[in-house]
Amino acid sequence: MDQNPRPEVYQLHVWIRQIGPMIWRRFLIRSDSTLTDLHNTLQIAFGWSGFHLHRFRIRGQDYSIGQTMVTNLDINGDEVKLADFRFRVNERFLYEYDFGDWWRHEVRIERRLPLGTPRRIALGSV
């Protein structure tokens, strides 16, 4: 198996759990982006300020981003690339933001696309 797979692009569909009406975003991100890059993208996409504690929970493992002041997180997300997970289409994981209000974002891999080809985000069902 190739240890350094060629970068590709993930089409992500992200929504905030347990809120109505549904608040969601869809965007593209490179597979060689780090979890920190994804955190920054989510902050911009949802209009968050970056002032609150946050983490990713992927396959039962917690990943911290920067200086979260949370001491029991397993792995520093600054060093982890999305490609390291070898995500499957339709696979999901959590991004939690603001541990007081518990904004829980469900992140779903909608598509995996080759890097370098023109594309548009599919707005219909995938």
Question: What would the pLDDT profile of 14-72 be if each residue is shown by its tens digit?
Answer: 999 998 999 999 999 999 999 999 999 999 999 887 777 788 999 999 887 765 455 45
- DSSP 3-state helix, strand, coil percentages of the chain (rounded to 5)? 15, 35, 50
What is d(CA 55, CA 99) in angstroms, rounded to the nearest whole number? 9
Structural domain boundaries in the chain: 8-114
What is the structure's pLDDT at 65? 72
Q: Domain 8-114 is of which CATH architecture? A: Roll (3.10)
Tokens 């920067």 — which residue? 66
